[in-house]
Structure 1
Amino acid sequence: MPQFSVPVTTIGLLILSNIFMTFAWYGHLKFKTAPLVTVIFISWGIAFFEYLLQVPANRIGHGHFSAADRLPS
């Protein structure tokens, strides 16, 4: 498996994570006749896969990206 740089890996995982979250949050609007409980469980099921991408992205990028390093003094 090819080794990608930290920025490429982090940004790639976060983009994929965001796609999953978009489906989790806005996908339910297409199915207005579905029961609310069903929509909630499906949204949380999709969000689970979002977390499988988002958590590693945050761990990988934690030491490389930092908002505190960019603050003016």
Structure 2
Amino acid sequence: MSITAWAFVFLVISNCFMTLAWYGHLKFLHDAPIWQAVLFGWAIALLEYSFMIPATRWLDAQGWSLGQMKISQEVMTLIVFVPFMIYLFKQPFKMDYLWAGLCLLACVYFVFRSQNA
């Protein structure tokens, strides 16, 4: 597998951890004191960073710009967040999520299109 493919695998994993760090306390520590929720989030965020940092370094080594990395990260966030929201929090799917995803794909197009300009 190429280094870029590994970077995207790591981005997906890091987004799983970050989504859990940001929102998991609402499901698993709903009645816990805020300090416990913060510690829960920080502990999981450490795992997220352990995957995000190598992924961004690998993409940087491949010549990706910061804009390209950030937009790709946002796409990964949506790809991970929607199933997380539907399956873990039992939220209904809305077509607006699809439209938001298409808008992000337009962002990807414009960021990568200007790569050689």
RMSD, aligned α-carbons = 1.8
Please name the residue that 2:25 is paired with.
28
Which of structure 1's runs of 4+ aligned residues deviate more than 4 A?
none
Please name the residue that 1:71 is paired with.
114
Bigger fraction of residues in helix? 2
Q: Quick one: higher RCO (CA 8 Å, sep 6+), 1 or 2?
A: 1
Count, aligned residues: 70
* Pick aligned residue for 1:18 from 15, 20, 34: 15
Structure 1: tracts of 5 or more residues without a match: none
Q: In 2, Cα distance between the equivalents of 1:35 and 1:56? A: 33
What is the TM-score with the length of structure 1 in the denominator?
0.84
Structure 2: tracts of 5 or more residues without a match: 69-110
What is the TM-score with the length of structure 2 in the denominator?
0.54
Q: Percent identity?
A: 37
